[in-house]
Every structure is written in structure tokens, then in C-alpha cells.
Copies of this chain bind each other. A is one copy, B any other.
Amino acid sequence: MGVRVAVAGASGYAGGELLRLIAGHPGLDLVAATGDSSAGRAVTDVHPHLPAYADVTLRPTDVAELADAELVFLALPHGASAALSASLPAGTRIVDLGADHRLTDPAVWAKHYGGPYPGAWTYGLPELPGQRARIADSDRVAATGCYVVASTLPLAPLIAAGVAAPDDVVVVAASGTSGAGRSAAPHLLGSEVMNDVSAYKVGTHRHAPEIKQAAGARTLSFTPLLAPMPRGILATVTARPTGTTSADEVRQVLAEAYAGEPFVTLLPAGAWPHTSATYGSNACHLQVTVDGDSGRIVATSAIDNLGKGAAGQAVQCANLMLGLPETAGLTANGVAP
């Protein structure tokens, strides 16, 4: 008998990935999956890849449907989690995959999201120093944004170690299309996205302030790209060194930061991350070097935006919160080719 969990917002891509992970998780039992426009539809109608849920129907997203769960995953649009969370029974643990409770600075919230500040929850990136224990002690966790995971894992240790300057960080990150969600929009049609790479929300993406907060950067140029694949983020993170540094030194910083981490792999020198290697997994692959011409530190990281970038990370947090093994129901092995 596992822990009773529910997924609110189960009809989207992150919600579907949560359902997939829960189906393979030895310690979690799904008691409810909810959606709004899709309430009443069979899960397999919305997610034909999940025959494990052949007998499950999506329910409306409301408190009554979720009340029996010991832990609720929220995969809802921006702005929907605060009200719902407040209504859930007192002891219910919550992992929010949305952005509502990530930012710790009300002024930053006001600038990028606007409206009343919903307050910050424990930040759900276990690989940050001290964060694993904080998550384990929390019953409210705000999971990290997908671009933020990919950008922060290489960057945060370099800034923390004083090797990379926190100013003038430049991140260019290419994401698969599932990161843009499942709502039908003309620019996300297959005919439009195949054969295409493009930038969007240049300098205005809401993950930029979150990267700064999570990685300790002070100024950041963040350019997201849409790439012609369903999943995956490849982030290229460059930062100026604070002094003289070398490829060996920056590799050493990341090696030490992630020694023993089950889901983060610093690749051997000379090998560079491929998003395909993280497909369907909770893995993050890293590499870093120093550019001989500019002197900049250049790191790249690969994740599955729906895995370590969303649902995988959320399950990892849930495992910590519930006292389960952190890796339960998760894998670092990708589905490739």
C-alpha cells in the first residue's frame, strides 16, 4: 500500500508525465487525476500512451476530488495554485510544478508576474546546497522551472565557488516543444516547428529572474529557443571568470558539487551533453570548459524538460518529503536513440 497521491492538471504534458512516473513508482498510489476541460474523459483518451490507467477517468479540479490524497502534485496554469492549495486539508503535502511559489522577492514577483504575491515555498531543487534537507522537512514545495534546472545546475556551483562572476551571465537555452504546453496554438503546429529553430521572449522570459535567484547570478541575458523535438533542453551557460581559471578547475568545481548525486552526471572531459541521452529520464548531463579566446567559462547542460525539468523533479521532491528513497520511481537512464 503506497502513499495516496493526486495530480491536479493531469491532462497537460507535465501532468501526463507525472501519471507515467506514478504508474511505475513502487511507493505511490494514484487516487485522483483532475483536469478542467478534460474532466469526464478517460485518461487513456487524453494520454493514449498510458494504458496503465485504462480504468481511470479525469475528474474536475476541485478540492473534493483531491481531499483523499496525502500528497498532491499541482500541474496547473500560472495563478491557479494559490487558491487551491489554501483549500486543501491541513496535512496534505503539495508539490507545485507552477511558478506561483518560486520567487522569494515580492518585488521581482510583481515585476514579472504581477498581482498579489502568493509567497514562496521551499524551492524544489534538491541538488542545491542544503536544499535536500529543507525539502524533506517541508509540506509545500515549489518545483523549479525547466529552463531554471538546466541553467542553475551548471551555474550555481561555479558562482558559489567564486570561480564565475555573478554579473553578465549569458544563457541561451533550446527547448523541445512540450515546454510550450499542450494548448493548440498556430505557431506550435508540427508544420511550423519542424525544420525550425527560433528565439522567443528574448530578455523577457519569466524563468530569467528565477535563474538569477536559484543560481546566484546578478545580471543575466537569457534567450530561450524553440527546437524541433518534443522534449529536451540544452542550455549553454557562459560566465566570466573572476580570475584566471582553467578547464580543469571549472570541471573540478562541478565534479565536487555533484559527487554522489544520483541524477547529475558530469561527462568525461571532451564529451558534451546531448538532450537525447536524457530523454524520458530524470538525468542532467553537464560539461564545462573555458573558452580560449574570450576567457569565458562555457558550460552546457542537458535535461528532459518534462523529466528533471518538471515531473521527474517533482517526484524526486515528493520522495524526499515522504521519506521514500529519493530515487524511487525515477531513473537516470534515458530512452535513446
Residue ranges of A at the interface with B (Cβ–Cβ < 8 Å): 13, 16, 20, 23-24, 45, 47-52, 54, 168-170, 172, 174, 176-178, 180, 182-186, 188-200, 202-204, 208-209, 212, 219-223, 225, 227-232, 234, 236, 238, 240, 265, 267-268, 271-281, 283, 285, 287, 289-296, 298, 300, 302, 331-337
Contacts and interface: CB of A to CB of B under 8 A. Distances in A.
Q: Which of A203, A220, A336 has the most CB of B within 10 A?
A: A336
A182 to B, nearest CB: 7
Q: Which 8 residue pairs spanning A and B have beta carbons closest together? A: A49-B334, A190-B193, A196-B276, A203-B291, A49-B336, A49-B277, A172-B172, A280-B335
Nearest to A307: B335
Given A182-B189, A199-B234, A219 B49 contact: no
A149 B305 CA distance: 31
Contacts of A24: 331, 333
A182 B13 CA distance: 22
19 contacts: A49-B277, A49-B281, A49-B333, A50-B333, A174-B227, A178-B337, A184-B188, A188-B189, A194-B194, A195-B229, A203-B289, A203-B291, A221-B291, A221-B294, A221-B296, A228-B228, A230-B336, A279-B280, A335-B335
A42 to B, nearest CB: 8
Given A50-B333, A221-B293, A271-B48, A230 B194 contact: yes
Contacts of A180: 191
B279 A229 contact: no
Contacts of A332: 51-52
Contacts of A204: 292
A202 to B, nearest CB: 5
Given A189-B184, A290-B203, A194 B168 contact: no
B48 A277 contact: yes
A170 B54 CA distance: 31
A230 B337 contact: yes
B182 A335 contact: no
Contact of A190 (B190, B209, B221, B331): B190
Contact of A186 (B184, B277, B335): B184
Given A221-B294, A231-B337, A333-B24, A274 B190 contact: no
